[in-house]
Structure 1
């Protein structure tokens, strides 16, 4: 009996560790940056949200509520090894965001396989760090529904990012797994500092759970006048710490995503994603 119980417990533990909960799902679609300008940004976002609301409500017969407002203004920088982009090549990104003088860093790993993504050790030294396994839903040239799994940890930061110990000291699991020298230099990818504007406060009623819409605009440096962003993205996200999503919720989310894709006057299927834009801004950075 004890042997059977031990086998049963081992089987249960193995199942739990091999069936990671995806606690967040985010659907992302690139927009045409030229349709937005800094001096008309708010009204441009409102115009888009009006069209998105009409399309989504028609597709899922549920309400889209709220009014888009500028909720975040922050500077964004990515860091990697100049000349090799080792982090990128291993499936990682390392990003700093600074908002109102406060810095946070995010270490993120992406994979097409959620198990591979979940097995990456994203532990952090900060007691305020937050980790999650998330499905990122986007599109490709051949499919209107492509899923990647991202495992990330975000932590408050007080360091000036310039070498690998700025990752190793804060993310000991990463240090243990990869063992990069602390003194390895880290540089801003593409020498870019992005000014990010994020509009929120619009929700999609998916049934038992709501999804929050975000419109994210990236400017190359501090915007002024009629300057347009270099990247524009609409996304919506819903979360459940138990990953207990219902069939109706996930189906409505997919239909909402397809409805956004039909807004051809706004969307830009050929546009680069945010991270890809950064890494390809200076093609020589990774060479």
Structure 2
């Protein structure tokens, strides 16, 4: 009888376990904002891409092709609870992006454990929502290869974000799991609206799959003249819906990432990540 009970428990555990597919992998590195300016932005990005291309091609003996073009100009806002930062404290962020008048929101959970990240319920009420489990690969003071797993859902948005209801209604799984009152105020983190410029259309040939390079510049509001961005990030991403990555692809991606880190004239290991910058812009916001 005891053996039968143990078998039943094991079967149940096997049924609810998971081996989540990481369908997207993104490598991120911060650059020195002082090397970029709004009125020379495209030239500055081209100069960086030229150096990145040379370094990556030498490291992996594969081509880097394309020409960096400005592909996205949008406003970025983060929302949380002023004075307590409830979302950040449970591992979440809630972001709105507005481009050409159209708004989309992203609810994201991060963890060093992909299973914990995947188990978070990020189901959305919109049929147009997109969900992904992604490995975010960056660096730390003690390591040049640090991984976090982000589970996120992005959905179109027509709401003015100001209450927890704006999350609960659009993400019913989150509402069911956490049960925060709809009436809790959501505030603009740091009272900060970022103007984001994203350059794309440069690809790394990793073999059976390509990775797309992005250079993302954040300005504090709409930039003019020689304004310097507050944050600059280079990243590259590749994805496979079946997560069927080959050994050669992942090894080349790592070597490409290490080659970018060697561009010490450009990189800024001490720079804050984009989300951290937003949260620490006003030191009193989370208290």
- TM, length-normalised to structure 1: 0.95
Correspondence for 2:254 = 254
Structure 1 range deviating more: 136-145 or 11-20: 11-20
The alpha carbon displacement at 1:18 in A equals 1.6
Partners of 1:264 and 1:186 in 2: how far apart? 39
- What RMSD in Å do the two structures reach over aligned CA positions? 1.6
Correspondence for 2:61 = 61
Q: What do the CA deviations read for 1:127-161 (whole angstroms, capped 9, x no partner)? A: 00000000000000000000000000000000000
Correspondence for 1:4 = none
**2:249 is the counterpart of 1:224:** no
Q: What do the CA deviations read for 1:209-259 (whole angstroms, capped 9, x no partner)? A: 000000000000000000010000000000000000000000000000000
**2:112 is the counterpart of 1:103:** no
Correspondence for 1:177 = 177
Secondary structure of the 2:143 match is coil
Indicate how the Cα distance of structure 1 residues 244 and 96 shifts in structure 2: closer, same or farther if over 3 A, else same.
Answer: same
Partners of 2:267 and 2:40 in 1: how far apart? 19
The alpha carbon displacement at 1:12 in A equals 11
Write out aligned runs for 1:1-287 (5 A): 14=14, 17-287=17-287
Runs of 5+ unmatched residues, structure 2? 1-6
Secondary structure of the 1:159 match is coil
Partners of 1:261 and 1:73 in 2: how far apart? 27
Consecutive aligned runs of 4 or more in structure 1 exceeding 4 Å deviation: 10-13
Indicate how the Cα distance of structure 1 residues 216 and 189 shifts in structure 2: closer, same or farther if over 3 A, else same.
Answer: same
Secondary structure of the 1:27 match is strand
Secondary structure of the 1:260 match is helix
The alpha carbon displacement at 1:87 in A equals 0.2
Secondary structure of the 1:268 match is coil
Partners of 1:74 and 1:95 in 2: how far apart? 12
Indicate how the Cα distance of structure 1 residues 19 and 265 shifts in structure 2: closer, same or farther if over 3 A, else same.
Answer: same
Indicate how the Cα distance of structure 1 residues 255 and 12 shifts in structure 2: closer, same or farther if over 3 A, else same.
Answer: farther
The alpha carbon displacement at 1:200 in A equals 0.1
- TM, length-normalised to structure 2: 0.95
